[in-house]
Structure formats: C-alpha cells, structure tokens
A and B are shown apart, each in its own frame.
Chain A
Amino acid sequence: MPSEVACIEQTVSLVTRHCLSGAAANDNLRFRLQVALAEALANAVVCGNHEDPAKSVQVEAELCTDHIIVQVTDEGRGFDPEQVPEPVHPEHIAEPCGRGLFLIRKLVDDVHFNEQGNSICMTLRRR
C-alpha cells in the first residue's frame, strides 16, 4: 500500500475481508484484526516511512486453519520495540500518543519484530 494515512482504512477492510471470508470468524476476531492491523499500518506509514510517497508498505497475510498471521513491513530504519514506554503507567495515561504497540500486544496472540525493527508479524488465533 502507498505511504498515505488515507489508504489505511481501505487496506484494513480489504485484508480483513479476505482473511475472514469463508471461515468461521467471530466479531471479536474481526475487531482485533482490524485494530491491530490499523495500528501496524499507521506505525509503518507515519513512523516508518514518514509518509514518503516514494516508499510503500508491504502487507502479507497467511491464513491457517486455526490462526491468521499478518506481517507489515515498511521501508524505514526500524525501531527498538523494547524502548517504547508503557502507556498505562500513571504518568503516561493522559499522554495523547504512545498506545499503538501496547494495543497490538494486547489484541493479538503473538507478536514479534524482525531484527531491524521495520517489520511486525502478528498472529491471531481463531478462537
């Protein structure tokens, strides 16, 4: 997808529709996939590619019987996910930003990054 925030909703809709078609999917799985993917795409477009129109974001989805794997990769330098502060710490609760990665970790069943930190892989079980 292009590095444009205006494309995020459409991409989430497209991926969600394909990932959840033809298989039993409860509404909560749909919701978790939508929010986690929207977060990952926003991080890739804004923080990774800095909305550079010359760069793109790659989205890959692997559909398995009991789980879905979605990988989002940008063309940025990457970041260290361990350095992101905890947004629910009392001194950060009222901050206007910093909840994206936290939400992803809470909503998906497994998450990991590549060594460079510019690619996130999320696994959601069809529970």
Chain B
Amino acid sequence: MGFHLAKDAGGAVVVRVDGQLIVGNRQELKDLINGGLDKGERKFLIDFARTGYIDSSGLGALVSLSKRVRELGGELRLSGLNEDLRSLFELTKLDTLFAIADTPEQALANF
C-alpha cells in the first residue's frame, strides 16, 4: 500500500494509488497533494489503476483536496477506476464533481 509520485511532461503531478485509499492512509495523500500546492503545482492527476478499494474517508479526502486545488486555481483529475471503484463515485454522486478518465493518458491529454 502506498503512493507513487511522478511528474508528467506537461507539468501535471501524477499520483498513483497502490493498494487501498482508506482512513489509515488518506492523510498521506493529502500531505502529498498539499505539498505540491505549496510548491506551486496546480495540475494533479490521481490514478487508481492499481487500487483495490476506497472507503468513504478516501472519497472525502478527494473531495477536500479537489476543493482546495480549485480554490488555488488548479484542477484535480482522476483516472483508472475499474467498474467497482467507479460505482462508488456513482453511488455517492461524486462522479458529478470530478473529471474522470479511463486512463492517465486520456486524463493528461489537454490538461
């Protein structure tokens, strides 16, 4: 379980979630994104292609991060959600709050 951080050629910060995004590690993700914001980064992509499951605390962390990124003039996008993970966003209607792409490549195009 962990987070893999990289920077896209176009300048976006890409965070890959390996394992779960749950109450036990959501603060680590928040610290990563907030650290990027503090350094002036404004484009963020969180990729879930290697994620098992997300709990409501993880969803909540994404909501608060997206809000902060937007307030600072940036954008946070999501990618790589399988059918089960996508259902969590649809059930909670969070799919209406996020730009969700099938792959990181699609999310990073025109970012």
Contact = CB atoms under 8 A, between A and B. Distances in A.
A78 interface: no
B22 to A, nearest CB: 6
* Consensus secondary structure, chain A interface: helix
Interface in A1-24: 5-6, 8-9
A31 B55 contact: no
Contacts of B88: 35, 103
Contacts of B63: 94-96
Contact of B91 (A31, A95, A100, A103): A103
A99 B58 CA distance: 10
Contacts of B55: 35, 38-39, 42, 100, 103
Contacts of B94: 93
Interface in B54-87: 54-57, 59-61, 63-64, 67, 84
Given A9-B22, A94-B67, A103-B88, A88 B60 contact: no
Interface string B32-61: 000000000000000000001111110111
B97 interface: yes
Contacts of B1: 9
Contacts of A103: 55-56, 88, 91-92
A96 B22 contact: no
Nearest to A102: B92
Contacts of B67: 94
Contact of A99 (B20, B24, B56): B56
A39 B84 contact: no
Given A28-B84, A31-B53, A99-B59, A9 B96 contact: no
A100 B84 CA distance: 16
Given A8-B24, A27-B84, A38 B92 contact: no
Nearest to B55: A38
B22 A42 contact: yes
Given A46-B23, A94-B63, A96-B64, 20 more contacts: A8-B22, A9-B20, A31-B53, A34-B52, A35-B54, A38-B53, A39-B55, A42-B22, A42-B56, A87-B92, A88-B93, A93-B93, A93-B96, A94-B97, A99-B59, A100-B56, A100-B57, A102-B92, A103-B88, A103-B92
